[in-house]
Structure 1
C-alpha cells in the first residue's frame, strides 16, 4: 500500500504554498514543479544568487528534489514564471502541480509569492490550497501598496540603510523583467 503524503504537502491541490527549507521539503518535494520566491536579497548580500541551483542543493542543505524543475520568481517576473508553469503543463499534456515556496517569511516574500499565485490564477491555474489562496489574497488586496510595503519592510529598510535603495525600488516593479531563472 502506498504511503499517504503528509497533509502539509497539500497534494490535493494543484497550486501549493510553503516557506523556507521546511516548505521546500514538505510542499516542494511532492510537487511536479517548484517556483522559489525571493523578493529581496538578504541585507549585506546584494550580489548573489537568489535561486537554488540543482548542483548546489546538497552543499546548502537543500532537500533532494531530483527531477523537479525549480525556477526563481519575484514581483518583477511573476507573469513569466506563471507562463513557464503553464508551458510545463502543456508540454506534459496533463495537469501538473506547482509549489510556490518563499525563501523566508517576510512581507516581501509573502507579497511576491501572492503575486505569482495571482498570475497563475490569471492563466486559469487556480486550484489552490487554502495556504496559497491566503497568500494570493494578501497580494491582490495590497497590490497598489507593494512599492511602499517593500521599502518599509524590515528587509527593505535594511537594504536602504546599506545604500541599496535602488535594489528595493527595482524589486518592487511588478512584471518589470521578462525572464525566469532555472
Structure 2
C-alpha cells in the first residue's frame, strides 16, 4: 500500500535529506541539491573537465555525500543540481525520459545541513535550489508536482530576485566564511571552493554531474 508521505501519485517529488529520500517512493531520477558545497563545487569541477569521486567528496560534505550514497543504493539516475545548473538539470531529466520512452519520476532532495549533534537543519539555499529546479521542470511541461514540490517551486519563483541576497546572508554562508577547515578539505581533494556569490548565480552553466560507478562525470 502507498505510504501517506511517499508522494507516489506525482511525477515530481520533493523531500529533505536521507530520511526524506527514504520516505519517498522509488524514483527513476534523483536530483541531490546541496547548493553551497557539494553540488556547486562538483558542478564547477566537472565543467572544467574533471571527474570527482564520491569517496573524495565525502570528506568535506557529509550531508550531500550521504544523500548521494543513499540514492545510489537503488538503480536510479543520480544527478547533482544547484542554482548554477537548474535549467540544465531540468533538460537532462526530460532527456532521460525521452531515452526511456516512458513517464519518468523524479525526486528532488534538498540535502540540508547536519548539526554537530547529527540532526538535519533547514538550509534556505537548498530549498531555493530545489525549488528553482522544480520550476524549470514545470516550465518544460513536467508539472505534475506533489504539494511539497509545488510549495518549494513557488517559493523559489517568488524569491528569485532576492536569491543572491538570501544566499549570501544565510547562516550557511556565514558558517562557510568562518570554516577554514572545510575549505582546506575541499582544496585537499584538488577542488576549488565555489564562492557563495557564484553559487547564487542561476543557470550559470549547462553542465550536469551524473554519478557513474562512484564518480561524477558530465551528463552526455
TM-score by length of 1: 0.84
User: Alpha-carbon deviation of 1:53?
Assistant: 9.0
Secondary structure at 2:76 match in 1 = coil
* Alignment-derived partner of residue 11 in structure 1: 8
2:107 aligned with 1:99, yes or no? yes
As a proportion of its length, which structure holds more strand? Answer: 2
Change in 2 beyond 3 A, CA 1:159/1:178: same
Name the Cα RMSD after superposition: 2.7
Q: Is the 8 A contact 2:10 2:146 kept in 1?
A: yes
* Alignment-derived partner of residue 167 in structure 2: 150
Query: Quick one: which of 121, 124, 134 aligns to 2:141?
Result: 124
Query: Quick one: which of 55, 66, 69 aligns to 2:77?
Result: 69
Q: Is the 8 A contact 2:37 2:194 kept in 1?
A: no
Provide the aligned length of Structure 1 versus Structure 2: 171
Deviations 1:73-95 (CA, angstroms, capped at 9, x unpaired)? 00000111101100011111111
The separation in 2 between residues aligned to 1:131 and 1:166, in whole angstroms, is 29
The separation in 2 between residues aligned to 1:102 and 1:166, in whole angstroms, is 18
Change in 2 beyond 3 A, CA 1:181/1:145: same
2:34 aligned with 1:38, yes or no? yes
Structure 1: state its 5+ residue gaps. Answer: none
The separation in 2 between residues aligned to 1:53 and 1:107, in whole angstroms, is 19
The separation in 2 between residues aligned to 1:167 and 1:91, in whole angstroms, is 35
The separation in 1 between residues aligned to 2:91 and 2:194, in whole angstroms, is 27
Bigger shift: residues 17-26 or 165-174? 165-174
Change in 2 beyond 3 A, CA 1:152/1:53: closer
Deviations 1:52-103 (CA, angstroms, capped at 9, x unpaired)? 499x83xxxx266321111100000011110110001111111111000011
Change in 2 beyond 3 A, CA 1:121/1:179: same
Q: Is the 8 A contact 2:36 2:173 kept in 1?
A: yes
Deviations 1:116-166 (CA, angstroms, capped at 9, x unpaired)? 000001100000000000000110000000000001110012223447896
The separation in 1 between residues aligned to 2:202 and 2:143, in whole angstroms, is 20
Change in 2 beyond 3 A, CA 1:157/1:69: same
User: Alpha-carbon deviation of 1:14?
Assistant: 0.3
The separation in 1 between residues aligned to 2:29 and 2:133, in whole angstroms, is 14
Structure 2: state its 5+ residue gaps. Answer: 46-55, 113-121, 184-192, 211-220
* Alignment-derived partner of residue 170 in structure 1: 198
